[in-house]
A = this chain, B = another copy of it.
Amino acid sequence: MAEQQTYNVAIVGATGAVGQKIKKILEDKQFPVKQLKLLSSARSAGKEETFNGETIIVEEAAPESFEGVDIALFSAGGSISKQLAPEAVKRGAVVVDNTSAFRMDKDVPLVVPEVNPEDIAEHQGIIANPNCSTIQMVAALKPIKDAFGIGKIIVSTYQAVSGAGNAAVEELYEQSKDYLEGNEVNAEILPVKGDKKHFPIAFNALPQIDVFGDNGFTFEEMKMINETKKIMHDEALNVAATCVRLPFATSHAESVYIEVDQEDLNVTDIWKTLEAADGVILQDNPEEQEYPTPQSAQDKEEVFVGRVRKDLDNPKGFHLWVVSDNLLKGAAWNTVQIAQTLVERGGLKK
């Protein structure tokens, strides 16, 4: 029996929220790791981490860090990816990038393994992990699109604070405490770190995620629109998004309206399709008040769908409520899934 092939893996942004989840998933899923490198900024270098019972010292990420690395999983922000991903590729690594740096590049596959795993084969060194809010939506909608066609998507999101990083979660909890104790509430991070104004997120809703573009849509909304078309291989698909940040730490929820290509479908047809879909769990029983919530989806890998309803006016219209852990399927788990698929399909053989 042949020994299982193993790989040198690097995590860039290893001490961040997503980096930590990636490390845990590599352990939990027994990813075939030969050696794991944990890379970070200078500030976090030197920290001790454990992986499969062994201690690993976090190193500062530099071009030469990627010598001998087979797979580099990037989750340290777009500017780090832009700077170091090409260096990793130059040294023979395949990069799975969890930032927006390369997602819309023609030469970079944008992959949700349940949706378009075949795109991985076309990589030229970098494979991009889509935006968290995109991943869960396309995972739920692709099986419906394959079965019945989808021409139009209108989504309003209910997004968790952890999408803006650990410091934003701390801000939510600090603000919540101050609000409950009647103290002044300070806003320094959300809606967007580095933008001109900041507003409280505790006991509030902020209709801004990422900065605004000239067309009035935010970058987050444009990511959902453009990435969905790219992943679905359908430039003619109509997609509209309104993205809203809400006061909970984990899991994004989405109110999704779709128009399918057929007039004679009913809720049962959508249910059957979702029940058969990889990575999707149907939680839809109004009579028993069964539907997913951000808290019920937390720490779970799957995308949960409930509240499926046929539109009362448009026979092609359906409404769905889609929830998933934004740090897992929306980030760390999808990243590792891409690496797994890459390995299984032989995409790492040189």
The dominant DSSP class at the A interface is: mixed
Chain A residues 27-62 with CB under 8 Å of chain B are none
Number of copies: 2
Contacting residues, chain B, for A314 (C-beta < 8 A): 152, 238
B156 touches A205 (CB 8 A): no
Q: Complex: how many Å from CA A321 to CA B157?
A: 12
Chain A residues 255-311 with CB under 8 Å of chain B are 255, 257, 267, 286-289, 291, 293-295, 306-311
Q: Complex: how many Å from CA A197 to CA B156?
A: 26
A203 touches B249 (CB 8 A): yes
Q: Complex: how many Å from CA A239 to CA B311?
A: 9
> Contact check: which of B154, B177, B205, B295 meets A294 at CB < 8 Å?
B205
A240 touches B291 (CB 8 A): no
B207 touches A293 (CB 8 A): yes
A240 touches B319 (CB 8 A): yes
- 14 A–B contacts, CB within 8 A, in A order: A154-B154, A154-B257, A156-B242, A156-B255, A177-B180, A196-B289, A215-B312, A216-B267, A216-B286, A216-B307, A216-B310, A240-B319, A246-B246, A255-B255
Interface, chain A (partner B; CB < 8 A): 152, 154, 156, 158, 173, 176-177, 180, 191, 195-197, 199-200, 203-208, 212, 215-217, 225, 238-240, 242, 244, 246-249, 253, 255, 257, 267, 286-289, 291, 293-295, 306-314, 317, 319, 321
